[in-house]
Amino acid sequence: MPPATEPEFDPIGIFKALDRARVTYIVIGGLARVLQGTDELTNGVDIVPSMREENLRRLDIALGELNARRRDGEKKLAVGDVDVLDLETDLGELKIVPEPTGTRGYDDLRRAASREHLGSGVRVAIASVGDLARMTAAFGREQDEPALRMLHRIAELDRSIGHGLEL
C-alpha cells in the first residue's frame, strides 16, 4: 500500500466551504499573521468560530463538506469538547479554537478584526495585529519570538502611518 499523501493546502477552498455554510468565524494563527504582513510559512487554517448554537450547526455542515476528520483518530467532531479541534480535511489542515489562549473567544476578537478580500470572491474576518500579538505572547514559546517581534513591528508601522495621516 503506498504511503498516504498530505492533501494540497487550499485555504481559499476551506474558506469557500465555510462561507457556503454561512459559518461566522475569525481567522487566527499563522495564516492570519501572514495575511497581516509577517513573512512566515504556514500549512493550515486556524479559526475561532462564534459559539452560538446555529453557527456550530452550520460549522458541522461545512466540516462534512470538507470531509474533516480528527488528526488524533477520534470520531467525535464536537467543538466544545476540546481546547483545539485539530482536523485534517481534503483541502489541508484546519484547527478550530473556541477560546484561543490570551482571549475570551470570538466576541473578544470580533471587535478589532478586519474583513479582507483574499481573491476568488473570498472575504474573511482576520484577527487584528494587536490580538494576534496578544495570542502569540500568551503562549510564551521561544519559537514564536520572531513572529511576535514582527507583529510588534507591523503594529508600530501602522501607528506611524496613522500619525502621518492626521491633519
56 vs 23, 44, 78, 151, CA distance in Å? 8, 20, 9, 30
Cell triple for 128: 487584528
- What the chain holds in terms of domains, given with CATH numbers, is 11-164 (3.30.460.40)
Task: Give per-residue pLDDT as tens, 46-63.
Answer: 999 999 999 999 999 999
3-class secondary structure, 117 = strand
Task: Give per-residue pLDDT as tens, 92-134.
Answer: 999 999 999 999 999 999 999 999 999 999 999 999 999 999 9
As a whole number, the mean pLDDT across the chain is 89
Sign of the CA dihedral with 142 first, then 87, 51, and 81 last: negative
